[in-house]
Amino acid sequence: QCVLSGSWRSDTGCRMVVSVLGKDGRFSGSYLPGPVANSPEILTSPLEGFQQDAGLVQQPTFSFTVRWRHRETAQMTAFLGQCYVGTDGDETLHALWLLREAADSPTEDWKATR
């Protein structure tokens, strides 16, 4: 069974620490981007999310948001994925993400999402 709580590292060197999951699947923690972010201005940022009830499936889905603590811009990222357990027992997370920056106006909205 996949357990989301704990410390995780991505292929690009990002680090995520997830607190113990609540009975309702809610969790919080912190996220720090890896060297690919190339910005010393980005600090460890808070995250909050939910994991599907692991009692229902052994490889649950999850979602969380990161509210970036960045000195220059207002950004948030949403992650949506699934926790997998390999045949060797190793747990891996596969996720898609969407980053949103604050736009100055509705006409600038198109370039605010990556």
Please determine, for residue 36, whether its predicted confidence score (pLDDT) is greater than 60.
Answer: no
CATH code that applies to domain 6-108? 2.40.128.30
pTM attached to this predicted model:
0.84
- Residue 114: band (very low, low, confident or very high) from pLDDT cuts 50, 70, 90: confident
Q: What are the structural domain ranges in the chain?
A: 6-108
Of residues 65 and 35, which shows the higher confidence score?
A: 65
Q: What pairs with residue 62 in β-bridges?
A: 51, 81
The pLDDT of residue 13? 86
| Cα 74 to Cα 104: distance, rounded to the nearest angstrom | 11
Counting other chains too, the contacts that 76-79 makes at CB distance below 8 Å and 24 or more residues apart are 76/100, 79/49
Q: Are 65 and 49 in contact (CB under 8 A)?
A: yes
Mean pLDDT of 9-29: 89
pLDDT at 55: 79
